[in-house]
């Protein structure tokens, strides 16, 4: 049986992860999807001679962007004239994977979430038409549907007010545009994926978290659902306590390549006992997992534990989103040591540690 086959069958039936939530328990919206006619702008493009931006709408778009909240469009319209209006208003650059077509709005919202690789419970949809909101709410009950009439109060909603705004937050849209360029480059490349990855010039850095990293570290625990080994979120204060604790290591990982920076994309929390180290949390941004970066942080911790002469264990809590993390542990040689419901303790004998891929350069503070 392969390592992937050994993933817990119960994980598929595990309790679903709750909606993305901040460390203080509030829901997190990662993407706002806008309707266009009588929502972003006043008027109906195919009926009115002229449409104009709704008062205050541009300011809302720019403020959401500054907060690190992604945005897109789900509009029933002809694509080219609608996108030309967005360009004329100077707003086209703010919308990722816009869906301007005649499909059901729920289909467009789903396509946007899939393109961004985020959960539907992290999406808010704004539309002036009650029918459209109800169609999305019926088909995609996880999505937060908002009436355009609430636009004046949109920025006050707690779901759209992240606790911290980090440098990575401010650059999030630009990082996604970098991903689009990578995708185009990969689609045009002829040859094995490893050869394409070698053309990126990827550089990965792993370091112990500094105080200035903690806001982004909290954000990572809040925003990362699919590749979070336990599903736990940690507050700034909790992470700071681990950072200064002599019994813990709090590690952050950043990545960049020729298309630009990915920002800080990985986090590991290790409890360091004299004989046993325990990975209490391992998480990775889904934006880098497909680049083969997912095992680099895990391999680094494994090498560090072996040098310290300690056994290495890892906590894992299964839900309906993070099965890939279990597979990652299994491919790295971890085996089940304990199980209680959906909670696992995994262990590695550290005899086989996945190597760093040849196509990337790793820099680590301890030289590992």
* pLDDT computed for residue 237 by the predictor: 95
| Domain co-membership, 253 together with 354 | yes
CB 83 within 8 A of CB 89: no
Reported in sequence order, the residue ranges of 9-67 that DSSP labels E, i.e. its strands, are 31-34, 41-42, 52-53
| Domain co-membership, 228 together with 274 | yes
Cβ neighbours for 175, distance < 8 A, ≥ 6 positions apart = 168, 260, 261, 262, 263, 287
Question: Which residue range is the domain that position 134 belongs to?
Answer: 29-160
Query: Looking at residue 54, what DSSP letter applies?
Result: P
* pLDDT computed for residue 14 by the predictor: 41
Residue 199: inside a domain, yes or no?
yes
The two tokens of residue 40 are 């972003």
| Domain co-membership, 113 together with 186 | no
| Domain co-membership, 203 together with 100 | no
Length of the chain: 368
| Domain co-membership, 118 together with 253 | no
Residue 225: CA count within 13 A, CB half-sphere: 21
* pLDDT computed for residue 169 by the predictor: 82
* Cα–Cα nearest to 234, from 269, 262, 266: 269
Residue 58's CB is within 10 A of a number of other CB atoms, namely: 16
| CATH code where residue 119 lies | 3.40.50.1000
| Domain co-membership, 116 together with 253 | no
How many distinct structural domains can be found in the chain?
2
Which of 160, 178, 196 is a domain's end point? Answer: 160
* pLDDT computed for residue 179 by the predictor: 85
Which of 160, 192, 215 is a domain's end point? Answer: 160
| CATH code where residue 199 lies | 3.40.630.30
pLDDT in tens, the chain (368 residues): 343 444 454 334 444 444 555 544 567 899 999 999 999 999 999 998 789 999 999 999 999 999 999 999 999 999 999 999 999 999 999 999 999 999 999 999 999 999 998 889 999 999 999 999 999 999 999 999 999 999 999 999 999 998 878 888 888 898 888 888 888 999 999 999 889 999 999 999 999 999 999 999 998 888 777 789 999 999 999 999 999 999 999 999 999 999 988 889 999 999 999 999 999 999 988 778 778 787 899 999 999 999 999 999 999 999 888 888 999 999 999 999 999 999 999 999 999 999 999 999 999 876 44
Angle at 270 between CA 269 and CA 272, to 5 degrees: 155
Which pTM was predicted? 0.73
Residue 110's SS3 state is helix
Query: d(Cα 290, Cα 285) in Å, to the nearest integer?
Result: 10
Residue 155: inside a domain, yes or no?
yes
| Domain co-membership, 156 together with 185 | no
| Domain co-membership, 195 together with 215 | yes
CB 7 within 8 A of CB 326: yes
* pLDDT computed for residue 66 by the predictor: 93
| Domain co-membership, 142 together with 231 | no
| Domain co-membership, 92 together with 194 | no
CB 262 within 8 A of CB 287: yes
Which of 160, 181, 216 is a domain's end point? Answer: 160
| Domain co-membership, 129 together with 241 | no
| Domain co-membership, 188 together with 109 | no
């Amino acid at each position: 049986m392969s390592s992937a086959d050994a993933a817990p069958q119960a994980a598929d039936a595990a309790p679903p992860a709750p909606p993305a939530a901040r460390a203080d328990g509030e829901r997190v919206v990662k993407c706002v999807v806008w309707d266009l006619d009588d929502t972003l702008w006043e008027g109906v493009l195919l009926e009115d001679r002229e449409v104009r931006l709704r008062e205050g709408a541009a300011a809302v778009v720019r403020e959401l962007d500054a907060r690190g909240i992604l945005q897109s469009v789900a509009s029933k319209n002809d694509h080219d004239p609608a996108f030309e209006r967005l360009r004329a208003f100077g707003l086209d650059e703010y919308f990722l994977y816009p869906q301007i077509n005649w499909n059901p709005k729920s289909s467009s919202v789903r396509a946007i979430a899939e393109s961004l690789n985020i959960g539907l419970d992290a999406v808010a949809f704004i539309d002036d038409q009650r029918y459209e909101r109800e169609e999305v709410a019926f088909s995609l009950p996880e999505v937060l549907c908002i009436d355009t009439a609430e636009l004046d109060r949109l920025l006050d909603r707690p779901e759209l007010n992240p606790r911290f705004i980090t440098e990575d937050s401010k650059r999030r849209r630009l990082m996604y545009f970098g991903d689009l360029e990578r995708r185009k480059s990969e689609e045009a490349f002829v040859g094995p994926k490893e050869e394409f990855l070698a053309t990126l010039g990827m550089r990965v850095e792993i370091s112990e978290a500094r105080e200035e990293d903690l806001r982004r570290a909290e954000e990572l625990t809040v925003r990362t659902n699919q590749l979070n080994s336990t599903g736990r979120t940690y507050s700034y204060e909790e992470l700071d306590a681990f950072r200064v604790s002599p019994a813990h290591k709090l590690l952050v990982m950043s990545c960049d390549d020729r298309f630009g920076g990915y920002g800080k994309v990985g986090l590991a929390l290790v409890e360091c006992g004299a004989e046993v180290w325990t990975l209490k949390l391992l998480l990775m941004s889904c934006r880098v997992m497909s680049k083969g970066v997912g095992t680099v942080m895990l391999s680094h911790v494994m090498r560090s534990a072996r040098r310290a002469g300690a056994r290495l264990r890892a906590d894992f809590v299964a839900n309906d989103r993070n099965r890939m993390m279990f597979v990652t542990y299994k491919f790295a040689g971890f085996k089940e040591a304990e199980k209680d419901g959906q909670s696992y303790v995994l262990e590695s004998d550290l005899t086989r540690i996945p190597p760093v891929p040849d196509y990337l350069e790793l820099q680590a503070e301890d030289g590992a």
